[in-house]
């Protein structure tokens, strides 16, 4: 869908403001741009005219519902639509603050309801077996050591795969604590377990590539930054060999990190800090996972549970 020049310029000014003030990551800014561009493109076609500030102010709740209905007909899930609406509201708040526009109709629009999915962690024994099995997926010793090191960081330190692959050679040998820059450029301190430090050291010992201080720590066979898809493929092979469900992904190891800390008595605030969650409510989903597991054990073990 085409977007009028006036609306496009306003959006870009807003994105520049968000980047400068909030320090959002490139991925977040790209997502905002896609969401708001889609919304503006729909309005341009729906209204049949160019969208300037006055036209954006004239948007009604009926217009908003028409956009949301259009998105649903396109197959957009309720969760994704709620995210898009959040971006649109952020754009309109900026219009209100910087241009004095009346945006009540947009801000009053309710997001679609959706069920929050629970994380799918891998059992502790399965997580360890997966990491061990990953080392057998390549005939090249350095590649096996690399994959083992990445997965150990995901499970042992709760890193996102993007965070593990963003590490540079300058950060080695890995210290006892790492400063990680996560979503929204938020920094957090993460303890590095001895097993993770040892796995990375073994990978570097075997790696045939020359590592410069600012080059990525984890490299592919051609010496370029390792593609996350490669780690995902290794996990796919491993879970097929072990008969594990499709939910056993690299990100599931991060879920496992959080769930197993909670099971061991870790408090939510600490786990929130270790994971880099902006909101405690995000971390609290792990308590639901733990409760669901306990109920499953209860039903199987209690004489009157079945």
Q: Is the pLDDT of residue 271 over 70?
A: no
- How far is the C-alpha of 243 from the C-alpha of 175, rounded, in Å? 35
Average pLDDT on 119-132 reads: 77
Predicted pLDDT of residue 246: 79
Q: Is the pLDDT of residue 146 over 50?
A: yes
* 174 found inside a domain: yes
- How far is the C-alpha of 30 from the C-alpha of 26, rounded, in Å? 6
Same domain, 132 and 95: no
* 170 found inside a domain: yes
Q: 27: domain CATH number?
A: 1.10.150.130
Q: Is the pLDDT of residue 204 over 50?
A: yes
Q: Return the sign of the alpha-carbon dihedral for residues 243, 77, 163, 208.
A: positive
Region of 223 please: left (phi>0), alpha (psi -120 to 50) or beta: left
Q: Is the pLDDT of residue 253 over 60?
A: yes
Look at 6-20, 45-59, 223-237, 280-294 and tell me which has the smallest mean pLDDT. Answer: 280-294
b/e per residue 14-29 (b: at least 16 CB within 10 A): bbeebeeeeebbeebe
Same domain, 47 and 145: no
Same domain, 139 and 261: yes
Kindly calculate the radius of gyration of the chain based on its CA atoms and give it in whole angstroms. Answer: 23
Same domain, 181 and 296: yes
Q: What is the pLDDT of residues 233-246, one digit of tens each?
A: 988 998 888 888 77
Q: Give the Cβ contact number of residue 135 at 10 Å.
A: 19
Same domain, 84 and 202: no
Decide which of 43, 72, 107 is a domain's last residue. Answer: 107
Q: Is the pLDDT of residue 15 over 80?
A: yes
Distant-in-sequence contacts of 290-299, Cβ < 8 A, 24+ apart? 290/259, 290/262, 290/263, 292/118
* 115 found inside a domain: no
* 112 found inside a domain: no
- How far is the C-alpha of 19 from the C-alpha of 41, rounded, in Å? 22
- How far is the C-alpha of 240 from the C-alpha of 84, rounded, in Å? 35
Q: What are phi and psi of 51, to 5 degrees?
A: -100, 110
- How far is the C-alpha of 194 from the C-alpha of 210, rounded, in Å? 25
Q: List active site positions.
A: 160, 183, 251, 254, 277, 286
Residue with tokens 């219009």: 95
* 305 found inside a domain: no
* 116 found inside a domain: no
Average pLDDT on 144-154 reads: 92
Same domain, 173 and 69: no
Whole-number average pLDDT of the chain: 80
Same domain, 147 and 268: yes
More confident residue, 274 or 141: 141
Same domain, 177 and 261: yes
Q: Which domain holds residue 48?
A: 5-107
Structural domains of the chain, count: 2
Decide which of 107, 138, 161 is a domain's last residue. Answer: 107
Q: Is the pLDDT of residue 202 over 90?
A: yes
Q: Which of 113-117, 183-187, 234-238, 293-297 has the highest mean pLDDT?
A: 234-238
Average pLDDT on 277-291 reads: 51
Q: 284: domain CATH number?
A: 1.10.443.10
**Among 163, 149, 118, which Cα is nearest to 276's?**
163
* 117 found inside a domain: no
Q: Is the pLDDT of residue 260 over 70?
A: no
Residue with tokens 């400068």: 20
Q: What is the pLDDT of residues 214-239, one digit of tens each?
A: 889 999 988 889 999 999 998 899 88
User: Roughly how many angstroms between the first and final C-alpha of the chain, as a whole number?
Assistant: 55
Residue with tokens 């199987």: 300
**Where does the pLDDT of residue 294 fall: very low under 50, low under 70, confident under 90, or very high at 90 and above?**
very low
* 114 found inside a domain: no
- How far is the C-alpha of 236 from the C-alpha of 134, rounded, in Å? 10
3 state SS of 252: helix
Same domain, 88 and 131: no
Same domain, 63 and 149: no
Q: Is the pLDDT of residue 264 over 70?
A: no
Decide which of 54, 73, 107 is a domain's last residue. Answer: 107
Q: Is the pLDDT of residue 162 over 60?
A: yes
Beta carbons of 143 and 154 less than 8 angstroms apart: no
Q: HSE of 229 in the Cβ direction (CA atoms, 13 Å)?
A: 1
């Amino acid at each position: 869908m085409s977007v009028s020049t006036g609306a496009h310029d306003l959006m870009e000014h807003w994105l520049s403001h968000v980047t400068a003030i909030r320090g959002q990551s490139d991925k977040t800014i790209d997502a905002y741009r896609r969401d708001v561009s889609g919304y503006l493109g729909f309005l341009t076609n729906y209204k049949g005219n160019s969208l300037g500030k006055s036209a954006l102010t004239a948007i009604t709740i009926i217009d908003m519902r028409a956009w949301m209905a259009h998105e649903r007909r396109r197959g957009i899930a309720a969760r994704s639509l709620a995210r898009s609406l959040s971006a649109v509201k952020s754009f309109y708040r900026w219009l209100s603050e910087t241009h004095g526009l009346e945006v009540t109709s947009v801000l009053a629009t309710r997001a679609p309801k959706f069920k929050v999915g629970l994380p799918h962690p891998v059992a502790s024994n399965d997580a360890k077996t997966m990491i061990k099995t990953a080392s057998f997926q390549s005939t090249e010793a350095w590649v096996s050591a690399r994959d083992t090191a990445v997965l150990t960081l995901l499970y042992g330190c709760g890193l996102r795969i993007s965070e593990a692959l963003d590490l540079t050679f300058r950060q080695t040998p890995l210290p006892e604590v790492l400063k990680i820059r996560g979503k929204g450029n938020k920094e957090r301190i993460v303890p590095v377990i001895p097993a993770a430090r040892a796995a990375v050291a073994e990978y570097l010992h075997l790696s045939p590539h020359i590592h410069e201080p600012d080059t990525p720590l984890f490299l592919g066979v051609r010496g370029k930054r390792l593609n996350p898809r490669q780690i995902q493929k290794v996990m796919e092979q491993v879970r097929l060999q072990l008969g594990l469900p499709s939910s056993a992904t690299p990100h599931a190891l991060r879920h496992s990190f959080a769930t197993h800390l909670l099971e061991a008595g870790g408090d939510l605030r600490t786990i929130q800090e270790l994971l880099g969650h902006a909101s405690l409510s995000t971390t609290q989903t792990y308590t639901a996972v733990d409760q669901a597991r306990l109920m499953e054990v209860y039903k199987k073990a209690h004489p009157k549970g079945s």
